[in-house]
Amino acid sequence: MKRLIAALLLGATPVLTAPAMAFDIGAMTDAEKADFGAAVREYLMANPQVLIESINELESRQAEQAAKNDVDLVAENHDAIFDDGHSWVGGNPDGDLTMVEFMDYRCGVCRQFNQEVVDAVEDDGNIRLIIKEFPILGQDSEASSRFAIAVKQIAGDEAYKAAHDALITLRSPANEDALRKLADQIEVDADKVIAQMTSDEVTQVLVKNRELGETMAIQGTPTFIIGQQMLRGVPRAGVASAIEEVREAM
């Protein structure tokens, strides 16, 4: 009975000898169920580590299934992730590994780890980096993303990178005055960019990114996709280590 209880708690399929060929709690009488419950309690009280082991096993299986689901999501939405036609592409455009970052300029974690992302891409030298504008933290987040997208549409990729770098460190509210100053700083036409921010072209980029995020079940920033693997949040061992792990698995 103790081996059976341990096997059930750990999620294993118990091997039973005749005449008991299968375990069916539904076939028990009320008295048998009560005895079984008492036996389970007695076993757990004497062997509490088994409960911890079963929880760890459950969490491990859930993590493995979640990772598999994410790989499937990446494969199913490949073009929208890696070739949407509107997101900025930097790093090495011909790199053998693509890293995508869903980011929000007002996200504290995105700001904190931005330089780590930049350093990892530069140090590797063979990474194609894609930035997905994904404002989820309110008005300043959306204004910042609209500004960056408008800059890209008006002035191109280099101007976008300059805007991105300035916005990720912008401390003031992203109001019109601040954005006009930023436009002057990166030498783009402030009037054109401010007007473009509310255009349908900019709105469509945000709509498509938001729809993709919903499809991918992305609920926070930063979220990374490195190769075919999705990382929800900053990798515990760091961005460079996550890249290395993906490369080793390729």
Torsion of the alpha carbons at 142, 144, 147 and 148, rounded to the nearest 10: -110
Q: According to the model, what pLDDT value does residue 20 have?
A: 47
Cα–Cα dist 202/153, whole Å = 8
- Cα 106 to chain center, whole Å? 17
Exposed (0-12), middle (13-18) or buried (19+): which is 134, by Cβ within 10 Å?
Answer: buried
Q: What is the pLDDT of residues 91-148, one digit of tens each?
A: 999 999 999 999 999 999 999 999 999 999 999 999 999 999 999 999 999 999 999 9
Cα–Cα dist 40/45, whole Å = 9
pTM to 2 decimal places:
0.75
Domain ranges in the chain?
2-76, 79-249
Q: What is the pLDDT of residues 43-71, one digit of tens each?
A: 878 887 877 776 776 666 766 666 678 88
Name the CATH superfamily for 79-249: Glutaredoxin (3.40.30.10)
User: Of 38-47, 107-116, 161-170, 211-220, which range is least confident?
Assistant: 38-47
